[in-house]
């Protein structure tokens, strides 16, 4: 007997019961970003493996352990994208778009990392991200962060906290890295396996360890803000002033780093306590050297990505349903010529941006059974086409959710106006 086929572990089906919530969130965030001047870019799922090795960093967990990498038939090493920034930078360079102009891009779609699946962490997960290219100004940082704050307010979400830090310049970070390594080597016996592995390759990531046994050790480590260069300190102070002026509340977290090598200066995270260990919902920062690192002209940049699964779950645990109720009308009819007229009626009613959802009953049976299906589908209006209606050129309109039985037989071209009038009478 053949084994039962199932989705790959950590890659989940999104069924019609949940996709309306996804659509509502995506539409909300899209609208906010468009109001801020962001244009959508759609990028390939597959990129050359070298792209991520050069941008994310060869000694990061993502590149070392988590990427889905394979050789194609030509022997080229390809990787399913684990994040979106690298592809956006590659696209801008390839198409010659970094020409001294300010670009504002946003994207959405699946990313892939071979992690241990758990709540809020999947092997195929979805991100909505934004990237700004062309300005080093802290005002741009503030505008981008304020836009993410706007996401939460428009979704009705509270309880998210903004944590902020500066990683400084590459040169200042190199000095700090040496001091941090000296400190950690002096406490080598207290380090866990992951931290020992990162000590030489990526010691700043130890500051972001979630191991509670290391919390006291990390608290005593040299402070990154104490090692900022003057220009980065001025940039960060100005950013904080701007966020204060915009009334965006934040906490400076000197231990906040990011897991990708390309970040410098501003880094930030929006975090919550409502999702357990996977509490980061949105994160980002500056990567001013990345475009040049990949062969483009020097182009300062900043961006972020948010995890859609985590955001959807946070809305659920917060008791927020972002889905706006949609009108649904259900057409029932008798066999024969009425069926063709039912299709034509539904087609006419679906015209226009404000049209309701119109379902036509195709299962047949008497009116009673069809009305049961209309009720089960969640329809608020039934449109009945029988032989009498067909002969008269009329439709019987019945409100299914009215407090009192409400039904009218009206000309076909009066259906929309009649439903609106009956609904208004019911509401009053």
What CATH architecture does domain 19-168+228-317 belong to?
Answer: 2-Layer Sandwich (3.30)
Query: Hey, how many other C-beta atoms are within 10 angstroms of the C-beta on 196?
Result: 13
Of 228, 309, 295, the residue nearest 18 (C-alpha) = 309
Q: Could you give the angle at which helices 337-349 and 415-427 cross, rounded to 10 degrees? A: 70
Q: Dihedral through CA 244, CA 246, CA 249, CA 250, nearest 10? A: -70
Write phi, then psi, for 385 (nearest 5 degrees).
-120, 105
Strand segments (E) across 192-350: 251-252, 266-271, 280-286, 301-307, 328-333
Contact 102, 122 (CB under 8 A): no
Query: ∠351-353-354 over CA atoms, to 5°?
Result: 90
User: pLDDT digit string (tens) for 82-134?
Assistant: 999 999 999 999 999 998 889 999 999 999 999 887 777 889 999 999 999 99
User: pLDDT digit string (tens) for 323-381?
Assistant: 988 899 999 999 889 999 999 999 999 988 889 999 999 998 899 999 999 999 999 99
Q: Which pLDDT band, with edges at 50, 70 and 90, does 60 fall under? A: low
Q: DSSP 3-state assignment of 329?
A: strand
Please give the Cα distance from 63 to 26 (Å, whole number): 29
Q: Residue 147 to residues 142, 320, 397: CA-CA distances in angstroms?
A: 8, 20, 45
Strands 381-385 vs 406-411: parallel, antiparallel or unpaired: unpaired
The domain spans of the chain are 19-168+228-317, 328-427
In this prediction, residue 423 carries a pLDDT of 79
Of 247, 271, 257, 276, the residue nearest 204 (C-alpha) = 257
Question: Which CATH number among 3.40.50.800, 3.30.70.270, 2.60.130.10, 3.40.50.2020 corresponds to the domain 328-427?
Answer: 3.40.50.800
Side-chain half-sphere exposure of 277, counting CA atoms within 13 A = 9
Run of H or E residues at 295: none
Find how far residue 252's CA is from the centre of its chain: 24
Please give the Cα distance from 30 to 38 (Å, whole number): 9
Please give the Cα distance from 30 to 36 (Å, whole number): 10
Q: What is the percent of the chain with per-residue pLDDT over 90, rounded to a whole number?
A: 64
Contact 44, 88 (CB under 8 A): no
User: pLDDT digit string (tens) for 155-175?
Assistant: 999 989 999 999 998 888 888
Q: Could you give the angle at which helices 308-317 and 19-35 cross, rounded to 10 degrees? A: 110
Q: Which pLDDT band, with edges at 50, 70 and 90, does 59 fall under? A: low
Q: Please state the pTM of the whole predicted model.
A: 0.88
Strands 124-133 vs 161-166: parallel, antiparallel or unpaired: unpaired
In sign, the C-alpha dihedral spanning 257, 259, 265, 267 is: negative
178 against 152, higher pLDDT: 152
Please give the Cα distance from 317 to 117 (Å, whole number): 20
H helix runs in 99-169, sequence order: 138-155
- What lies within 8 Å, CB to CB, of 260 at 6+ separation is 55, 56, 57, 60, 62, 83, 85
Please give the Cα distance from 65 to 177 (Å, whole number): 23
Secondary-structure breakdown of the chain: helix, strand, coil percentages, each rounded to the nearest 5: 40, 20, 35
Q: Which pLDDT band, with edges at 50, 70 and 90, does 18 fall under? A: very high
């Amino acid at each position: 007997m053949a084994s039962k086929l199932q989705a790959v572990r950590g890659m989940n089906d999104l069924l019609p019961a949940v996709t309306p919530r996804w659509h509502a969130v995506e539409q909300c965030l899209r609208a906010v970003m468009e109001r801020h001047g962001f244009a959508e870019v759609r990028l390939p799922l597959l990129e050359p493996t070298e792209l991520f090795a050069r941008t994310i960093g060869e000694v990061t967990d993502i590149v070392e352990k988590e990427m889905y990498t394979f050789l194609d038939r030509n022997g080229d090493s390809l990787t399913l994208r684990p994040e979106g920034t690298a592809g956006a930078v590659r696209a801008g360079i390839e198409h010659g778009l970094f020409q001294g102009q300010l670009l504002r891009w946003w994207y959405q779609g699946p990313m892939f990392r071979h992690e241990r699946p758990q709540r809020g962490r999947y092997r195929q997960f979805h991100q909505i991200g934004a990237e700004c290219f062309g300005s080093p100004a802290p005002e741009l940082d503030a505008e981008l962060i304020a836009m993410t704050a706007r996401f939460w307010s428009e979704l009705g979400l509270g309880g998210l906290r903004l944590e902020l830090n500066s990683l400084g310049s590459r040169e200042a970070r190199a000095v700090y890295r040496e001091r941090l390594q000296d400190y950690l080597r002096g406490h080598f016996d207290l380090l866990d396996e992951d931290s020992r592995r990162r000590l030489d390759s990526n010691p700043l990531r130890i500051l972001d360890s979630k191991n509670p046994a290391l919390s006291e050790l990390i608290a005593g480590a040299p402070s990154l803000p104490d090692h900022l260069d003057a220009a980065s300190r001025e940039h960060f102070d100005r950013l904080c002033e701007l966020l204060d002026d915009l009334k965006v509340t934040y906490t400076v977290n000197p231990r906040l780093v990011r897991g990708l090598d390309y970040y410098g200066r501003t880094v930030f995270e929006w975090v919550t306590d409502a999702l357990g260990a996977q509490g980061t919902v949105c994160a980002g920062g500056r990567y001013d050297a990345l475009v040049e690192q990949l062969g483009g002209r020097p182009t300062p940049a900043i961006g972020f990505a948010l995890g859609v699964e985590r955001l959807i779950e946070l809305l659920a645990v917060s008791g927020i349903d972002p889905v706006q109720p949609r009108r649904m009308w259900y057409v029932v009819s008798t066999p024969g010529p009425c069926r063709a007229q039912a299709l034509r009626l539904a087609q006419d009613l679906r015209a226009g941006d404000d049209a309701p959802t119109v379902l036509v009953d195709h299962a047949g049976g008497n009116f009673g059974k069809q009305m049961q299906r209309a009720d089960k589908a969640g329809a608020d209006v039934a449109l009945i086409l029988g032989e009498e209606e067909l002969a008269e050129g009329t439709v019987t309109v019945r409100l299914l959710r009215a407090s009192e039985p409400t039904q009218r037989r009206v000309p076909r071209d009066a259906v929309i106006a009649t439903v609106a009038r009956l609904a208004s009478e019911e509401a009053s």
